[in-house]
Amino acid sequence: MAEQMPTHLILLAAGEGTRMQSDTPKVLHEIAGAPLFEHALMSAAALGGRRVIVVGHGGTQVAAAAQAVDPEILVAEQAEQLGTAHAVAQAASALEGAGGDTVMLYGDTPFIKPETLARMQAMREDGADIVFLGFEAADPGRYGRMVTEGDTLTRIVEFKDATEDERAITLCNSGVVMAGTETLLRLAAAVGNDNATGEFYLTDIPALGAAEGLVTKVATCDEAETLGINTRDDLAAAEAVFQDAARAEALTNGVTLQSPDTVHFSADTVIGRDAIIEPYVVFGPGVTVESGARIRAFSHLEGAHVGARAVIGPYARLRPGAELSNDTRVGNFVEIKNAQIGDGAKVNHLSYIGDAGVGARTNIGAGTITCNYDGVFKHRTEIGSDVFIGSNTMLVAPVTVGDEAMTATGGVVTMDVPAGDMALARARQVNKPGFARKLFSRLRAAKAAKKG
Ligand code: UD1
Ligand code: CA
C-alpha cells in the first residue's frame, strides 16, 4: 500500500478586516483566549503537512504571532490583496516540492471541524480532483453560489456576478477547498480577474479544472462551522458559540458546573472528572484542573495547574506558573504566581505567594506576602514542609525557611530560618500602664474646646 501523503495547509490571513474597526489585525482578535488564526490551525492540526500562513495587512505582527504559536509555520507575503486566488498563489514557493494535497482555510473562520476536513480527504481518496466545502445557507446573502450537475460542482459564481436564478441557489461556498498541491497552485495562478470586482477569485478553479477534465465535488457541513468573523458582533457571537460548546463538553466529561453560563473557558482549558466549578469562574489560557478539585465562586485562573481534590477560592487568583499539588487549599483573596504549593499545604486568606516553593502540609497564615521584587530583580522564597508561617509575615526574598520551622506573627523575615527554628522578627511589645485612658481624655477635652 502506498504511504499516505500529507495534507498541507494554506491559511489566508492577509485581509484588512475593516469592519472590525480595529488597529489590531483581524486574525489576532481572540476567541476563548486564542487568536482567530490559532483556531483555524487547531482545525487542521491532524493533517500533518506543511503549514503556510499568507499575511498582508499587519503582516509583521501576524507572522510573529503565528510563529509564536507554531514555530514551524511558513510565512508567505501577499503585499496587495488582489483576491483569494492571488493569495493562494503566494504560497507556491513555501510549498515547493511538497507534493501531496493542500487544503486552504481562512484565518478568520475558526470553527471548521477536523472531521469535516477528514471527510474532504476521503472524497479526494475516492477520486475527486478538487473538493470544495459548501453548506446550505439559511440566508445565502452575499456568499458565492455553488452550481452543481448531479454531484459534480461545475462552477462557483460570486454573488456580485450572479444572475437572479443563480442567486436563488442556497448551496453556498464556505471558502474551504482541498486538492492536489500542484493542481491547486497551478489553477490558482491561472485564474483571471475579468469579473465584477476585478479580483482574482479562487472560486474560478472548478470551471478552469473542468476545462482540463478535472472533477470537482462538494463536501457539505453545518452552516455553524463556516461562521466567519467580520465584525465585533460576529466576534462576540463566536465567543458565545465557543463558550456554549466548551460548557457542554465539560458537563459531558463529568464536570459539575453549578451555573454553566457564568463560567468562562479558554480554548485549552482541561478539567478532570468530578471537579466542581462554582459560579463566575474565569479560566484564562493554560489551565489544567485535576479530578475532584473544587473551584469556588469568583476565582480567576491563568497558566495554572490545580491538583486533585484541591479547593480554590472563593475569590482566588492563580497566575501563570501556579502549581498546586493535591489536596491544597487556596482561600479568598489569595494570589499565587510562579509558585509550587506542596501536597496538603494551605494558603487560606489574603496572601500573595509569588516566585516561591511551599512544602507539603505547610500552613501560610493570613496576610502573608513573599516580597519577591526589589524594584529590579525577582527573588525566590523557599519554604519547607510542615512549616507554620504566622499571620502577616513578610518574607523578604531571597529567603529560605526550613522544614518544621515557624515564623511568629507580624514578622519581617529577612534572614534564612533553619529547620525546626522559630523566627521572631518584630519589635518586642511594651505596655504603658494607664496611658491610653490619659490620652483619650486629653484628646476629648481638646475636641470639646474646639466646639465651644
Ligand atoms: C469568499 C468566496 C465566496 C465565499 C466566502 C465565504 C472568493 C472569490 N469568494 O468571499 O465564494 O462564499 O468567501 O466566506 O473566494 N484574503 C486574503 N487575501 C486576499 C483576499 C482575501 O488573504 O487577497 C482572505 C481574507 O482575509 C479572508 C478570506 O481570504 O479571511 C476571504 O476573503 P473575503 O474577501 O472575505 O472573501 P469573500 O468576499 O467573503
Ligand atoms: Ca468574508
**Who surrounds ion ligand 2 at CB < 5 A?**
228
Between 3-17, 108-122, 141-155, 214-228, the lowest mean confidence (pLDDT) is in 3-17
Distance 214 CA to ligand 1 centre (A): 23
Instruction: Give per-residue pLDDT as tens, 312-367.
Output: 999 999 999 999 999 999 999 999 999 999 999 999 999 999 999 999 999 999 99
CATH 3.90.550.10 applies to domain 7-226: yes
Of these residues, 8, 264, 349, 379, which one is catalytic?
349
Instruction: Give per-residue pLDDT as tens, 96-117.
Output: 999 999 999 999 999 999 999 9
What is the distance of C-alpha 382 from the center of its chain?
Answer: 32
Question: Does residue 106 have its Cβ closer than 6 Å to ligand 1?
Answer: yes
Query: Is 349 annotated in the active site?
Result: yes
Concatenate the DSSP letters of all residues of 59-71 into one string: HHHHHHHHHHH-T
Distance CA 289, CA 306 (A): 5
Could you tell me the pLDDT band of residue 452, with boundaries at 50, 70 and 90?
confident
**With pLDDT > 90 as the criterion, what percentage of the chain qualifies?**
98
Instruction: Give per-residue pLDDT as tens, 273-315.
Output: 999 999 999 999 999 999 999 999 999 999 999 999 999 999 9
Helix (H) or strand (E) holding 85: helix 84-89
Could you tell me the pLDDT band of residue 451, with boundaries at 50, 70 and 90?
confident
Question: Does residue 109 have its Cβ closer than 6 Å to ligand 1?
Answer: no
Could you tell me the fold of the domain covering 232-423?
Answer: UDP N-Acetylglucosamine Acyltransferase; domain 1 (2.160.10)
Evaluate whether 7-226 and 232-423 have a shared fold.
no
- Owner of C-alpha cell 483556531: 39
Distance CA 392, CA 379 (A): 19
Distance 269 CA to ligand 2 centre (A): 29
Question: Does residue 11 have its Cβ closer than 6 Å to ligand 1?
Answer: no
Burial class (CB within 10 angstroms; exposed 0-12, middle 13-18, buried 19+) of 311:
buried
CA of 25, nearest ligand number: 1
pTM of the model: 0.92
- Mutation to probe ligand 1, out of 84, 169, 221 (largest number of atoms < 8 A from CB): 84
Q: Decide: 299 and 311 in contact? Cβ < 8 Å.
A: no
Ligand 1: nearest atom to the Cα of 85: 15
Question: Does residue 15 have its Cβ closer than 6 Å to ligand 1?
Answer: yes
Distance 13 CA to ligand 1 centre (A): 10
Please state the domain extents for the chain: 7-226, 232-423
Question: Does residue 173 have its Cβ closer than 6 Å to ligand 1?
Answer: yes
Q: Which residues make beta-bridge pairs with 155?
A: 147
Q: Decide: 410 and 416 in contact? Cβ < 8 Å.
A: no
143 pLDDT more than 90: yes
Question: Does residue 201 have its Cβ closer than 6 Å to ligand 1?
Answer: yes
CA of 17, nearest ligand number: 1
Ligand 1 atom 25: residue of nearest CA: 15
Q: How far is CA 43 from each of CA 111, 117, 177, 237, 405, rounded to the nearest angstrom?
A: 7, 8, 14, 19, 52
Instruction: Give per-residue pLDDT as tens, 58-92.
Output: 999 999 999 999 999 999 999 999 999 999 999 99
Q: Decide: 74 and 9 in contact? Cβ < 8 Å.
A: no
Distance 34 CA to ligand 1 centre (A): 22
Residue type for position 22? S
Residue 60's φ and ψ, nearest 5 degrees, are -65, -45
Question: Does residue 228 have its Cβ closer than 6 Å to ligand 1?
Answer: yes
Distance 12 CA to ligand 1 centre (A): 8
- Mutation to probe ligand 1, out of 106, 111, 155, 160 (largest number of atoms < 8 A from CB): 106
